[in-house]
A and B are shown apart, each in its own frame.
Chain A
Amino acid sequence: MSTRADALINEYLDRLEEELADFPSTRRRELVQEISAHIAEARASLENEDEASIRNLLDRMGDPADIAAEAAGPPAAEAPPPPPQQAKTRGSGWDVAALVMLLVGGLILPVVGWFVGVVLLWTSETWSTGEKLLGTLLVPGGLALPLFLLTVGTSANSCGGEVGGPLTCTGGNGAGSAAVTVLVIALFVVPIAVVAYLARRRSQVAAPA
């Protein structure tokens, strides 16, 4: 019987050896050695060494393919996800500059200053495309636009008034001047609100970095 048992066990160990072929030789040797020692000890404790008991013993050891799979580690699905791609960020000062230039760039350097803000906004990776569109379209020129309209309005429509003070119009009807007032106030408020919103988005995005 012992030759038949030896044959079965050797066959099992050969299959294990094959299944572990892709592993470094030291690990393969360690595993085969340990499992072979386990089989030897289990075999020694058998009351009756017949073919059935040897086969049962080897069944309890498990399929060599399963042992190799365990040695290979957890399946890919369980592997931790790759770390999130770290956004390549410029210094946060650039983002602040973008917002400042969008708002008052046109005042510092007419038209060009605001364009600088737009370029900085679009080259930043902080904001989404939608947020960039928002920053660009609301409102072109930033605070320079309502201030410009105020000055133009003063000469063309005889609407006067200090910046920040009440508007007084000598031409046009009351409803028209009221509409102009609302428009100008909106042109002041909207870009400030948009820039504030973008600043808040930036602090949310940049917080972990």
Chain B
Amino acid sequence: MVATQDALLAQMRRGTLQYCVLSLLADEERYGFDLVRGLAELDGMVTSEGTIYPLLSRLRRDGLVESNWQESPSGPPRRYYRLTNAGRAALDAFRLEWRRFRDAVDHFVERTDER
């Protein structure tokens, strides 16, 4: 794969990652390790797990997620993240745009594939 394509895919992953994080938090609150495991289940989404934490920190400062500490059954307390109303609105807006974008790209890319 050429370098520019690698860079493009990295940018796409980077741009969409925060919405994947918001999606994972849509139904339940999660703590960092749990969240990273959830993302890592899908191949290609997270290349370095540590970079999720600055992202979570930014989402929190932007008011899209909020966090609180909860005791853990094993080890020290954990910081749990959950979606705020603003986060839910951002996620809903992204879903709409993403579907349109995905369908438009699929329309061309998938059709070429079938020929």
Which B residues are CB-close (under 8 A) to A42? Answer: 33
Which A residues are CB-close (under 8 A) to B74? Answer: 44
Interface stretch of the complex, out of B19-27, B47-55, B86-94, B101-109 = B47-55
Pick the residue among A30, A37, A38 that contacts B49 (CB under 8 A).
A38
Q: Are B32 and A38 in contact (CB under 8 A)?
A: yes
Q: Are B75 and A31 in contact (CB under 8 A)?
A: no
* Alpha-carbon distance between A93 and B104 when the two chains are bound, in angstroms: 48
Interface residues of B in 74-114 (CB under 8 A from A): 74-76, 78-79
Q: Are B49 and A71 in contact (CB under 8 A)?
A: no
Contact code string B40-69 (vs A, CB < 8 Å = 1, else 0): 000000011111011111100000000000
Q: Are A31 and B53 in contact (CB under 8 A)?
A: yes
Which A residues are CB-close (under 8 A) to B53? Answer: 31, 34-35, 38, 67
Which A residues are CB-close (under 8 A) to B55? Answer: 70
Known: A40-B75, A61-B50, A66-B50. A31 touches B57 (CB 8 A): yes
| A208 at interface by CB-CB < 8 Å | no
Q: Are B32 and A60 in contact (CB under 8 A)?
A: no
Q: Secondary structure at chain B's binding surface: helix, strand, loop or mixed?
A: helix
Known: A37-B32, A61-B48, A62-B51. A71 touches B57 (CB 8 A): yes
Which A residues are CB-close (under 8 A) to B76? Answer: 37
**Nearest Cβ in chain B — how far from A62, in angstroms?**
2
Question: Range of interface residues on chain A?
Answer: 20 to 34
| A55 at interface by CB-CB < 8 Å | no
* Alpha-carbon distance between A68 and B33 when the two chains are bound, in angstroms: 19
Q: Are A44 and B75 in contact (CB under 8 A)?
A: yes
Q: Are A70 and B51 in contact (CB under 8 A)?
A: yes
Which B residues are CB-close (under 8 A) to A62? Answer: 47-51
Q: Are A38 and B36 in contact (CB under 8 A)?
A: yes
| A73 at interface by CB-CB < 8 Å | yes
Which B residues are CB-close (under 8 A) to A70? Answer: 51, 54-55
* Alpha-carbon distance between A208 and B18 when the two chains are bound, in angstroms: 34
**Nearest Cβ in chain A — how far from B97, in angstroms?**
18
Which A residues are CB-close (under 8 A) to B54? Answer: 31, 67-68, 70-71
* Alpha-carbon distance between A40 and B75 when the two chains are bound, in angstroms: 9
Q: Please give me the residue from chain B that is nearest to A20 by CB atom.
A: B54
Which B residues are CB-close (under 8 A) to A68? Answer: 54
Q: Please give me the residue from chain B that is nearest to A67 by CB atom.
A: B50
Q: Are A27 and B57 in contact (CB under 8 A)?
A: yes
Q: Are A37 and B33 in contact (CB under 8 A)?
A: yes
* Alpha-carbon distance between A62 and B49 when the two chains are bound, in angstroms: 6
Pick the residue among A34, A41, A67, A71 that contacts B48 (CB under 8 A).
A67
Which B residues are CB-close (under 8 A) to A50? Answer: none
**A-to-B contact residues, CB < 8 Å:** 16, 27, 30-31, 34-35, 37-38, 40-42, 44, 60-64, 66-68, 70-71, 73
16 pairs, A vs B, C-beta closer than 8 Å: A27-B57, A31-B57, A34-B79, A37-B75, A38-B32, A62-B47, A62-B49, A64-B50, A66-B48, A66-B51, A67-B48, A67-B51, A67-B54, A70-B55, A71-B54, A73-B58
